[in-house]
Structure 1
């Protein structure tokens, strides 16, 4: 990674990509430089947002969606996740073109002051692990997907 001694450095998608490489997480890059890692049951988007691209966003989305008639159950499930867990917030997305509801888990970390390499790796690793736990929870305990 971009080692600068003990000084925090600006967080960029290049540094996120290096962290993903260090963690042996395969990913693709879209035309805007956003990074997308794919697992069997979900995908995780790593991007920088905010007026100065200073906010690390880790957004997980299960491949499965929820039928619109189960919207109440979906809202209750994500509310339960938010009540029980602290790292990623969960929410129900807008209906797809097929009228189904996507479910998301998202973490946003403001990093305007920069971060040490170890923290970047830890945030990426934690984001990927929580995404997997969230999707597994949706399939098992929440019985939503």
Structure 2
């Protein structure tokens, strides 16, 4: 990336006549005959840089998100992960199963999808739908919904999806992944409170 001083030099170089006229009108007592045009340009550029500041290039540049980057994030944070038979990346977070999907024509949409570790009977479908709707009405993340399996059992799902068309820095990717995992876990904690495990309570 070109420095601010270099850009200022180029800007000044486009106006040689104005610079020459300014030099010609300068009082003889202050004019420095030994100063070349390049030196004058450098002097003005340094003055502008000192007054306006120099923009430093960003070290952490957004780059496309890939399963490899997500897996590296999991490893760096000491989370266990796996790749299933379909090639999808998944992992366990606080005993709950989460998957990490990339959708879209350019695989630019990152989705963190969690599944509650227990199933619910079909007879409770309406009340679970009400619970999901209440959650979605009060909170941005995660989106909560249910899936009814062929065997009639109900699975409850959390989902956080983010469009990363322009890529993401490591810190941005980390924030999205933590958001999907932590908010999904909060929703599942609420389900645990609503439907306590009989084995976890005294008879």
| TM-score w.r.t. length of structure 2 | 0.64
Structure 2 residue runs of 5 or longer lacking an equivalent are 1-57, 198-203
Q: How far apart, CA to CA, are the structure 1 residues paired with 2:134 and 2:195?
A: 12
Q: 1:69: which partner in 2?
A: 123
The answer to which structure, 1 or 2, has the higher relative contact order (CA under 8 A, 6+ apart) is 1
Find out whether 1:138 has 2:191 as its counterpart: yes
Q: 1:109: which partner in 2?
A: 162
Displacement of 1:143 after TM fit? 3.4
Q: 2:97: which partner in 1?
A: 43
Aligned residues of 2:94 and 2:185 also touching (Cα < 8 A): no
| Alignment partner of 2:84 out of 21, 25, 30 | 30
What is the CA RMSD across the aligned residues, in angstroms?
1.9
More helix by share: 2
Displacement of 1:41 after TM fit? 4.3
Higher radius of gyration, 1 or 2: 2
Q: How far apart, CA to CA, are the structure 2 residues paired with 1:17 and 1:45?
A: 11
| TM-score w.r.t. length of structure 1 | 0.87
Displacement of 1:32 after TM fit? 4.2
Structure 1 residue runs of 5 or longer lacking an equivalent are none
Number of residues paired by the alignment?
140
Aligned residues of 1:36 and 1:43 also touching (Cα < 8 A): yes
Aligned residues of 2:97 and 2:114 also touching (Cα < 8 A): yes
